[in-house]
Amino acid sequence: MTVRTRDGLATAERIVVKVGSSSISGEASWRIPMLVDALAAAHGRGAEIVLVSSGAIASGIPFLSLDARPTDLATQQAAAAVGQNILVYRYQEALRPFGIVAGQVLLTTGDLDTPTSRSNARRAVERMLGLRVLPIVNENDTVATQEIRFGDNDRLAALVAQLVQADALVLLSDIESLYTKPPTDPSAEPIDVIAAGADLTGLEFGATVVNSVGTGGAATKVSAARLAAASGIGVLVTSADLVAQALQGDPIGTWFEPA
């Protein structure tokens, strides 16, 4: 069921939701139960939900007594190995009161580029959804190298949405919507809807940034949203704090119309 407008999220049958490291890691880990409450509500009405969650490396940092995000690949991989376990445990504990079981899916670019492994990944996720399991997808940071990374989980979420032929994609951010200029600019205005194939020349979404816990930024969300929208998947970009309203189809965030 193609969702043409954001209010269709309230009745969408299959939704991919992506949340970034800065929204659910460290001092922001309190958001996990809030996020899960919203996902469980949609799951409870019969929707199939796939969660693409960053945060493995960020979740592992405190357990390795590191002061900041590691810069060398080996330590990033070690932090991801420890943190992925912690991350999924936190999600499962939050899901437990709702009787929902989480399933971990770790992917590399090769898994989606190669026909056989792509088919295997699709079959596994489809079966989990059929069993009413909530798949939690992340990049397999423990084995990924700089040369074979997705780049960011916004792009991964768009590719997963294509993989499972989702009705809609929700990209959760730190801000309520995208703006015509960086939000710190007094002349910046929120963007309500971006039409399929719209010319975005003149809009300043900002470059990809690397912060203390993850990578991302408005530019990566725009790129991922346009990738999904071009394949017929409507995309909402909004704040992680508004996830419940987003899944209820409320008039919030920036909506990318599907082609």
Output the DSSP codes for 142-180.
TT--GGG--SSHHHHHHHHHHHTT-SEEEEEESSSS-BS
Decide: residue 232, CB within 10 A, 0-12 exposed, 13-18 middle, 19+ buried. Answer: middle
Tell me which DSSP letter residue 219 carries. Answer: H
221 is an annotated ligand-binding site residue: no
The mean-pLDDT minimum among 141-150, 158-167, 174-183 falls in 141-150
Dihedral sign of CA atoms 184, 186, 192, 196 in order: negative
Q: What is the pLDDT of residue 127?
A: 98
State how far the Cα of 173 lies from the Cα of 178, in Å rounded to an integer.
9
The mean-pLDDT minimum among 15-24, 197-206, 239-248 falls in 197-206
Token reading at 112: 């989606």
Higher local confidence (pLDDT), 249 or 151:
249
**What residues form DSSP beta bridges with 174?**
none
Domain boundaries defined on the chain = 6-256
Element (H, E) at 127: helix 115-130
Mean pLDDT value across residues 65-80: 88
The mean-pLDDT minimum among 133-142, 161-170, 229-238 falls in 133-142
pLDDT tens readout for residues 123-150: 999 999 999 999 999 988 787 665 445 6
Token reading at 207: 């470059």
> Within 13 Å and on the Cβ side, how many CA atoms surround 103?
16
State how far the Cα of 113 lies from the Cα of 111, in Å rounded to an integer.
6
153 is an annotated ligand-binding site residue: yes
pTM value?
0.92
Asked if pLDDT for residue 209 goes beyond 50, the answer is no
Percentage of the chain beyond pLDDT 70 is 91
pLDDT tens readout for residues 17-40: 999 988 998 889 999 999 999 999
Radius of gyration of the chain (CA): 17
54 is an annotated ligand-binding site residue: yes
| Average pLDDT score over the chain | 89
18 is an annotated ligand-binding site residue: yes
SS3 content of the chain, % helix, strand, coil (to 5): 45, 20, 35
Q: What is the pLDDT of residue 161?
A: 97
173 is an annotated ligand-binding site residue: yes
181 is an annotated ligand-binding site residue: no
CATH code for the domain defined by 6-256: 3.40.1160.10
Q: What is the pLDDT of residue 50?
A: 98
